[in-house]
Amino acid sequence: MGIFSKKSKNKTKIGALGAELIATFFLTKMVLLTINGNIELATPLAASLTLMLFVYTIGSMSGAHLNPAITIGLLATRKIKSMEAAWYVVVQVIGAALAMLTTALLFGLPEVSTTGVAWQIILGEFIGTFVLAWGVYSVASGKAPAAASGITIGGSLLLGIFLASPFSNAVLNPAVALGIGSVSILYILTPIVASITSMHLYKYLENSKISL
């Protein structure tokens, strides 16, 4: 299965699920360690570099979603089958939960606020995830060169985090939100809605035949 490939005729492979679990584990772990101060590297940069690495290393196995919002967006745009998407979300959540548990045992968990002005959280998470999903769909649709897939997606995450951070925790990922303890309905649902909106808009523009 290629990077963000269209619906596969085969059943979901264990290798793809294992890749998603491991990659989401390390993405969440990196975010936790940078927030906790165990690694002297800015969290946005660490998360973006981690995502970039896994796009290149497991993209051919699973598509390297690492994010339930991205998986659901790709499901909504028919780039992945429903059962496959469900399994992806399950293993992504498991990976994030394992990162949280192992970090808690070794270092303790950082305190991450889930409070704030609701409209600001919604705005931040929506804008940030919209940009991330835009970059992902450009790769999924073949508009971005495959050789630049990691840079495109990692760069989209970095830009999305910078745009979201003045308004929210800039998580942009429901699984990571669970893993770092930034769990609320706003941090779960907003990225999903943003991803679906972004990918559908990209798809509409891509297929538009209207001329002026």
Per the structure block, which two tokens stand in for 37? 């101060």
H runs (alpha helix) in 63-117: 68-76, 82-106
Residue 167 has a pLDDT of: 96
| Three-state SS at 109 | coil
Residue 65 lies in a domain: yes
> CB-based contacts of 188: which residues, under 8 Å, 6+ apart?
174, 177
Q: Could you tell me which residue, 2 or 66, shows the higher pLDDT?
A: 66
- Between CA 15 and CA 132, with CA 146 as vertex, the angle to 5 degrees is 80
What does the mean pLDDT of the chain come to? 92
Residue 6 has pLDDT above 70, yes or no: no
Average pLDDT, stretch 169-174?
97
Integer Cα distance of 88 and 18 in angstroms: 9
Integer Cα distance of 42 and 175 in angstroms: 20
Residue 119 lies in a domain: yes
Residue 112 has a pLDDT of: 86
Residue 95 lies in a domain: yes
Residue 68 lies in a domain: yes
Residue 6 lies in a domain: no
Residue 130 has a pLDDT of: 98
pTM: 0.93
Beta-strand ranges (E) seen in 87-135 are none
Per the structure block, which two tokens stand in for 29? 């772990």
DSSP state of 67: S
Percent of the chain with pLDDT over 70: 95
pLDDT digits (tens, 9 = 90+) for 46-59: 999 999 999 999 99
Residue 114 has a pLDDT of: 80
CATH assignment of the domain containing 191: 1.20.1080.10
Residue 45 has pLDDT above 70, yes or no: yes
Residue 212 lies in a domain: no
pLDDT digits (tens, 9 = 90+) for 103-155: 999 999 888 888 889 999 999 999 999 999 999 999 999 999 889 999 999 99
* Structural domain count, the chain: 1
Residue 143 lies in a domain: yes
Residue 12 has pLDDT above 80, yes or no: no
Residue 122 lies in a domain: yes
Q: How many CB atoms within 10 Å of residue 8?
A: 14
Per the structure block, which two tokens stand in for 148? 């630049």
Q: How many CB atoms within 10 Å of residue 166?
A: 11
Q: Could you tell me which residue, 212 or 75, shows the higher pLDDT?
A: 75
Domain region containing 81:
14-207
Percent of the chain with pLDDT over 90: 82
